[in-house]
């Protein structure tokens, strides 16, 4: 069984195929963390805890004269606040009398069949073939009527344990929730590194590795989104851990708003790891009888280095996070008009782009920003989701009919959460925008943010978006968000509840997406926030692919897609072939290389194919054939990082789940005079099975390829690329 409980009902061991997690309610009902790591027998590990009299570490009343028992040094599942644990708390409460204290003790447990759901929030779910198990532990606050339920979901095959908490006010007076993180793990021993993923707009998810010491290592966002600057995912690992060896723990937050995550050693060497909603500008009132659910954290352990951890997350996200008609179905190859035309287009231009794309075999035309309202620049029109029939020379339905008549699918760009002050919607409903009375608002891209917590805002957006989707028979929506959120003020919320607005905003976005997807179950939704500003597991629950970055430069994309790959599958990464010189960097790279890089993503084009050469048009056909040929590998296979950004030769690979075939992509990023031999690693082929390499025709056992790799016959030129296949013979 995945969840094993001792005969006295106080020790809990969670088992996956390769990992174990154990905790225990001690004699004072404190829920202690005992172990997380390589799979072991479900035997009580209480002896791992060393107790001694630690100066200035106070003792709870139950300890009596036992000075060796202190909340300040014990490893806990639910550290409270204000009652003697001076480290980072997990749940912080303000009571009706103004006191700030939270002391949680074990009360009961329950085992439930299947994965748990979280009201209004994304969560890993069961499939027809695979069902998880859930352990719910109820903790009582010692001096109030607050109960906290700790949820642990176990996905055995994927080696993932999910975490969340539900805080319930069972009393008669309101309680203020000032902090509500989703998980806390106290690692008793060991020295650790922390890997997180930093960045900025157009250069997202760059890995950074630092040692965990007594000064806290913390990342987070207060931008209203998970952000370009830090991704809500991190890895705690052995300092010697590599792609193939060593212990590592992943923490991935299934949430698209403000977050905090970090690790810190305490005075005795214990490492506390936490993740959850950022407590900055968070203050949630729990009235009598109300409950608050925190978002879900996806935890995973690998003893096989970062590659093993990556495979576990990719399998979980593909099978238990992504949903809908395109969960496993082949995604259509699209062409987007944005970099081809920007705002300067009309119906004739769009149809001409579609016609040329169709002739080459591209399956979908996506019309980007500028088709609605008064929208010839980014200074006006947002919120007016009505087709500009003068600009489009007719209705959106008429354009949709022309695109569909070609045999192509048709997609549209929306930015539902935003509003321009120069719009009919703002003139009619200025109070729908987030802005603080008496203060001039901060503007981003000359736009304000709609208050997505308000039901009438969501109702307006649902009516407008669904009307257009129905009229034009839209197959795909790119949902964008092009600024960070600030100027928090909700006109419907009382002052004491204003600290709920950031979270209620995210809940409103999720609710609108859920409603639209229920009405349009065949719709392919792609997430976007200036590219990768909201690339997280929470968004993937609604949109199975996300525009990876606004930066389409193939060489920069090597770094961006490398960092993204640690947690997120290639099939979730929106990646396109764009024009050169590249619009973001000015770099010129070969058409073949741009195609090879984009093939390790959803794949599409971001240019006007009427302007490319006949030779490049032939390359488009070849790239489409490669996309079809390797789709099962790139979208369903196991991913391997074979080199790091900054190396002269960048390489990555995919291996089929049955290990019958594999592919490796190689890109030369630097060249030297009097060059050395270029060598490519190979991973994941089965030992005892023979494979032929398409590059040189040589057949070797999988063990030979895995150990010896491939030496290239000639040195690649700068930015030149290769796509190499191994097939079992």
Where in the sequence numbering do the catalytic residues fall? 536, 616
- In terms of DSSP bridges, do strands 193-200 and 233-237 run parallel, antiparallel, or are they unpaired? antiparallel
Cβ neighbourhood burial of 615 (10 Å; 0-12, 13-18, 19+): exposed
CB atoms within 10 A of CB 447: 25
- In terms of DSSP bridges, do strands 661-668 and 649-655 run parallel, antiparallel, or are they unpaired? antiparallel
- Residues with Cβ within 8 Å of residue 295, at least 6 apart in sequence: 118, 121, 122, 164, 182, 253, 254, 255, 276, 277, 538
CB atoms within 10 A of CB 440: 8
**Residue among 653, 645, 719, 717 at smallest CA distance from 680:** 653
Query: Which CA distances in Å does 375 have to 86, 343, 345, 383, 393?
Result: 54, 8, 11, 10, 15
How crowded is the C-beta side of 51, counted as CA atoms within 13 Å?
13
- DSSP state for residue 441 in the 8-state scheme: P
CB 284 within 8 A of CB 176: yes
CA–CA distance, 687 with 678 (Å, rounded to integer): 24
- Residues with Cβ within 8 Å of residue 401, at least 6 apart in sequence: none
| Structural tokens at position 502 | 């950031």
CB atoms within 10 A of CB 93: 27
Phi then psi for 95, rounded to 5 degrees? -95, 175
CA–CA distance, 196 with 187 (Å, rounded to integer): 18
Taking phi over 0 as left and psi of -120 to 50 as alpha, with beta for the rest, 379 belongs to alpha
């Amino acid at each position: 069984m995945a969840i094993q409980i001792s005969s006295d009902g106080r020790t809990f061991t969670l088992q996956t195929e390769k990992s174990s997690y154990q905790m225990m309610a001690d004699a004072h009902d404190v829920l202690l963390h005992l172990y997380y790591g390589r799979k072991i027998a479900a035997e009580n590990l209480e002896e791992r805890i060393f107790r001694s009299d630690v100066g200035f570490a106070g003792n709870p009343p139950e300890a009596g004269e036992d000075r060796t028992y202190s909340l300040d040094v014990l490893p806990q599942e639910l550290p409270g606040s204000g009652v003697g644990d001076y480290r980072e708390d997990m749940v912080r409460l303000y009571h009706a009398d103004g006191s700030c204290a939270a002391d949680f003790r074990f009360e009961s447990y329950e085992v439930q069949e299947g994965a748990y759901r979280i009201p209004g929030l994304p969560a890993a779910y069961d499939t027809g073939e695979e069902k998880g198990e859930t352990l719910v532990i109820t903790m009582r606050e010692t001096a109030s009527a607050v109960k906290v339920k700790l949820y642990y979901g176990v996905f055995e095959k994927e080696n993932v344990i999910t975490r969340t908490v539900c805080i319930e006010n069972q009393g008669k007076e309101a309680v203020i929730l000032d902090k509500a993180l989703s998980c806390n793990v106290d690692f008793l021993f060991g020295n650790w590194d922390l890997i997180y993923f930093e960045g900025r707009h157009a250069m997202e998810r760059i890995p950074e590795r630092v040692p965990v010491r007594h000064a806290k290592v913390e990342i987070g966002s207060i931008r209203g989104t998970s952000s370009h600057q830090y991704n809500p995912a991190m890895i705690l690992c052995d300092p010697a851990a590599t792609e193939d060896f060593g212990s590592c723990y992943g923490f991935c937050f299934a949430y698209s708003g403000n977050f905090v995550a970090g690790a810190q050693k305490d005075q005795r060497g214990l490492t506390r790891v936490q993740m959850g909603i950022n407590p900055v500008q968070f203050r949630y009132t729990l009235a009598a009888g109300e409950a608050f659910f925190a978002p879900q954290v996806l935890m995973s352990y690998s003893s096989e280095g970062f590659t093993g951890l990556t495979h576990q997350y990719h399998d979980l996200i593909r099978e238990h996070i992504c949903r809908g008609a395109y969960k496993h179905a082949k995604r259509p190859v699209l062409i987007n008009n944005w970099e081809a035309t920007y705002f300067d287009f009309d119906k004739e231009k769009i149809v001409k782009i579609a016609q040329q794309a169709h002739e080459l075999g591209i399956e979908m035309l996506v019309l980007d920003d500028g088709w609605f309202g008064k929208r010839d620049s980014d200074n006006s029109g947002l919120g007016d989701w009505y087709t500009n029939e003068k600009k489009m020379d007719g209705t959106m339905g008429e354009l949709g009919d022309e695109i569909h008549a070609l045999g192509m699918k048709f997609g549209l760009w929306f930015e539902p959460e935003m509003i321009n002050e120069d719009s009919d919607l703002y003139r009619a409903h200025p109070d729908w925008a987030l802005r603080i009375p008496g203060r001039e608002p901060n503007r981003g891209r000359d736009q304000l943010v709609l208050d997505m917590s308000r039901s009438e805002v969501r109702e307006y957006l649902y009516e407008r978006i669904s009307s257009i989707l129905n009229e034009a028979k839209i197959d795909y929506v790119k949902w964008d968000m092009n600024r960070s959120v600030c100027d928090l003020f909700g006109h419907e919320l009382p002052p004491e509840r204003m600290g709920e607005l950031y979270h209620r905003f995210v809940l409103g976005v999720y609710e609108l997406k859920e409603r639209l997807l229920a009405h349009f179950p065949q719709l392919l939704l792609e997430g976007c926030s200036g590219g990768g500003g909201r690339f997280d597991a929470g968004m993937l629950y609604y949109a199975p692919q996300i525009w990876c970055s606004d930066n389409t430069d193939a060489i920069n994309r090597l770094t961006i897609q490398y960092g993204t790959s640690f947690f997120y599958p290639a099939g979730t990464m929106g990646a396109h072939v764009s024009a050169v010189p590249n619009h973001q960097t000015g770099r010129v790279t070969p058409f073949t290389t741009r195609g090879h890089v984009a093939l390790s993503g959803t794949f599409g084009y971001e240019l006007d194919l009427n302007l490319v050469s006949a030779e490049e048009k032939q390359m488009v056909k070849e790239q489409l054939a490669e996309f079809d040929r390797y789709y099962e590998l790139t979208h369903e296979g196991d991913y391997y990082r074979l080199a790091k950004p900054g190396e002269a030769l960048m390489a990555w690979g995919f291996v089929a789940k049955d290990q019958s075939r594999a592919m490796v992509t190689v890109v030369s990023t630097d060249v030297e005079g009097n060059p050395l031999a270029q060598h490519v690693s190979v991973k994941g082929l089965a030992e005892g099975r023979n494979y032929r390499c398409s590059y040189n025709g040589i057949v070797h056992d999988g063990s030979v390829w895995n150990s010896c790799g491939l030496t290239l016959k000639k040195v690649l030129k700068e930015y030149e690329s290769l796509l190499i296949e191994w097939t079992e013979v």
